Amino acid sequence: MATNQNIAVLLDVENINNVATLDKLMMQLQTDGDVTVKRAIGDWSKSIRVVKEGIQGLGFDLINQPNLAPGHNSADTKLVIETVELLHDPNHDLNTFAFISSDQDFLPLYDRLREMGKNVIVAGDHSSNSRRIEQHVDKFIPLRDAQDNVVAVSYYPKARKSRRGGVRVARRGVDKNVRGEIGKLIYNAMIDSVDENDVASPRKLYDRMKRLNPKFSVKALGYSKFGKMLRSFPDIVKVRGRRSKHMTVKLVRQPESNPLANTNGHARNRQR
């Protein structure tokens, strides 16, 4: 890819929002050319508001896009709209578009941009999905490379094994700091998932946790089932029912170290 490029960076904040990783990544992108546009798209009224100041400090323009329907990420559509507007804006002479997202839904957008003679860079989590993304872009940057081989938002050590036939054990085997991070993840996901009675389905909660942190893994924490993991956090959620299709999860209170603890709104009002 040629040097002296004018680069527009578009960040899907609800997909990737680790500020330390983004800082390293922006320094790496600047070696490819001049970053003239930086836009971060997400629903800033939700749990990602805890990283709002950090991302803004990196020079991003914050584009707020509320999720218009439960379970749907409207930021994806807004990101496409922002890209099209920049593409046809005479005030921006852009020849490279850099997307910070691991979402494969943008593949048709990448293809179209390249057909129009634009260079496409994508920075995302290195996984099996990234191999497919690489086929549709000019350059793919694994986020672990952007942060000196440290995978973004990765909290999870390998789970220990018990002496009873190699069965994985958890709860007391999970590091205290890791439990704190998982507790905050559960709480933040619950805020986005609960209904008017502060109750959420396990499936909706799990999907939201994976959305907030794609690296989240129940097995990596040493639990055989998602429900068992939730029951080990009785100070944050209360799980009712045994079978998954009849199970419900109710928010009890926020974790003590939650960064939303001193803010207005749901977090403070729900503390008991």
Domains of the chain: 5-146 (3.40.50.1010), 171-269 (3.30.420.610)
Sign of CA dihedral 33, 37, 40, 41: negative
Residue 47 token pair: 């749990």
- Under 8 Å between Cβ of 203 and 250: no
197's CB contacts (< 8 A; 6+ apart) are 250
CA dihedral 240, 262, 75, 204 (to 10 degrees): 0
What's the pLDDT at 255? 58
**CA neighbor of 28 nearest in space, from 153, 120, 134, 143:** 143
| pLDDT on residue 95 | 94
d(CA 219, CA 180): 17
100 in Cβ contact with 25 (< 8 Å)? yes
The pLDDT of residue 268 is: 39
pLDDT reported for residue 12: 92
Cβ-contact 80, 109 below 8 angstroms: yes
Q: What is the pLDDT of residue 244?
A: 58
From first to last of its 272 residues, what are the pLDDT tens digits of the chain?
Answer: 555 789 999 999 888 888 888 999 999 998 888 999 999 998 888 767 888 899 999 999 999 988 776 556 688 899 999 999 999 998 989 999 999 998 888 999 999 999 999 999 999 887 756 788 999 999 999 886 454 432 333 233 333 443 444 333 344 445 677 888 888 889 888 888 888 777 888 888 888 888 888 888 888 787 888 888 888 888 888 888 766 567 889 987 665 544 444 333 444 344 43
pLDDT for residue 107: 93
- Confidence (pTM): 0.54
Check residue 98 and give its pLDDT: 97
